[in-house]
């Protein structure tokens, strides 16, 4: 079985030849925005626009990193709606369905402005060059690393070092297994083409979650004693786990809330400024349950789970660690970028 146009867009991947195992297409636009502009795109305040969808875990990473580093004044953000058609994500949250900065109704237009015959999935996050209206990159893994390392001249005072040089090898190693077995592992379960492929993906996912639980039982963060890129990458899957992956993707050995270490770790991050305040559970659930009609033909969006537990005490501070190292928490969410209160976990009275 080959993926439909909507399949290829929504989950930029392909199936193996026998149609049973989901494999992600990782051929992204690898152009980079750098301090020296060596790819033709120098770091410049106000020149670029980060296009995201709050529903998407890969885009959620970029939203978190941009906020933690305080790049809002120099890198604007366009937010697509939670669903899309067969062509691409759309700016249906904006007046008239048009992005107010780029002047386009869908992110596909920015891709085609640079590559008229672009053959692959139209994905978020993407960074667009505002003067030309052309996409620069959709390489989500490199994108956040570049925000940390190439945009340093524009970081806020007190910005954390999410990719410290002396820990990069370990961060890369941890991030790689998190990507293969967890970030992409939930998709392998959800889109498995037969029982054998699903079983293998299921065991691989929960084996890795068990190992991560062991790692985090005695340390507050994945690498070192501060929040790093590795934590951002794991968080965006964990925060979606009970809301969509447990049921929709059949990742149902246990809920996140039934895995004590990971649940406390995820709550610790959620309650940290820059993490939970970027999460829109309404968009997350609408996207997965409404768009994946092959998995959920009637498009019914479940009312659960109860989200109030996200604000329960976690006691992770007893393990030590300093969330922002020598830095400070980010300030309030930028005006106009707030997640509606009714879309996130309710705070206790």
- Nearest-CA neighbor of 337 among 263, 269, 279? 279
**Rounded to the nearest 5 degrees, what angle is found at the Cα of 217, between the Cα atoms of 59 and 170?**
55
Helices 260-270 and 229-240, axial angle in degrees (round to 10):
110
80 is catalytic: no
Strand, coil or helix: 225:
coil
Q: How far apart are alpha carbons 211 and 101 in whole angstroms?
A: 44
Helix (H) or strand (E) segment spanning residue 259: none
Binding site as annotated, residues: 89
Q: Active-site residue among 56, 80, 189, 251?
A: 56
Binding site as annotated, residues for glutathione: 89
Strand, coil or helix: 24:
strand
Q: Active-site residue among 22, 48, 163, 187?
A: 187
What's the gap between Cα 221 and its chain centre?
Answer: 18
**Cβ-contact 323, 272 below 8 angstroms:** yes
- Nearest-CA neighbor of 337 among 3, 42, 75? 75
Q: How far apart are alpha carbons 278 and 175 in whole angstroms?
A: 21
Burial degree of 321 (CB within 10 A; 0-12, 13-18, 19+): middle
What's the gap between Cα 81 and its chain centre?
Answer: 15
Q: How far apart are alpha carbons 51 and 107 in whole angstroms?
A: 8
179 is catalytic: no
Give the single-character DSSP code of 45: T
Active site members: 56, 187
């Amino acid at each position: 079985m080959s993926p439909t146009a909507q399949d290829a867009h929504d989950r930029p991947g392909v199936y193996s030849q026998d149609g049973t195992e989901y494999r992600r297409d990782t051929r992204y636009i690898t152009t980079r925005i750098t301090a020296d502009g060596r790819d033709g795109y120098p770091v410049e305040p106000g020149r670029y626009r980060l296009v995201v969808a709050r529903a998407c875990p890969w885009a959620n990473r970029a939203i978190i990193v941009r906020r933690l580093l305080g790049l809002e004044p120099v890198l604007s953000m366009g937010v697509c709606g939670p669903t899309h058609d067969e062509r691409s994500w759309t700016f249906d949250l904006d007046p008239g369905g048009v992005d107010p900065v780029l002047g386009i109704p869908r992110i596909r237009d920015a891709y085609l402005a640079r590559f008229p015959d672009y053959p692959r999935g139209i994905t978020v996050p993407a960074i667009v060059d505002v003067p030309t209206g052309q996409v620069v990159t959709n390489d989500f893994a490199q994108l956040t690393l570049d925000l940390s390392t190439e945009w340093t001249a524009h970081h806020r005072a007190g910005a954390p070092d999410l990719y410290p040089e002396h820990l990069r090898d370990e961060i890369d190693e941890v991030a790689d297994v998190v990507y293969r077995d967890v970030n992409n592992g939930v998709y392998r379960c959800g889109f498995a083409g037969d029982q054998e492929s699903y079983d293998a993906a299921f065991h691989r996912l929960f084996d890795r979650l068990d190992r991560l639980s062991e790692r985090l039982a005695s340390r507050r963060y994945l690498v070192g004693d501060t929040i790093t890129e590795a934590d951002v990458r794991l968080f965006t899957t964990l925060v979606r786990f009970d809301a969509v992956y447990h049921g929709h993707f059949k990742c149902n050995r246990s809920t996140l809330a039934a895995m004590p270490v990971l649940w406390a770790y995820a709550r610790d991050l959620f309650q940290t400024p820059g993490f939970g305040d970027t999460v829109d559970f309404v968009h997350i659930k609408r996207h997965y349950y409404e768009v994946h009609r092959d998995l959920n033909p009637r498009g019914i969006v479940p009312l659960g789970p109860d989200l109030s537990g996200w604000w329960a005490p976690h006691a992770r501070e007893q393990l030590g660690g300093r969330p922002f190292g020598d830095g400070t928490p980010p300030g309030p969410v930028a005006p106009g970028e707030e997640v509606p209160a009714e879309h996130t976990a309710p705070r206790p009275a």
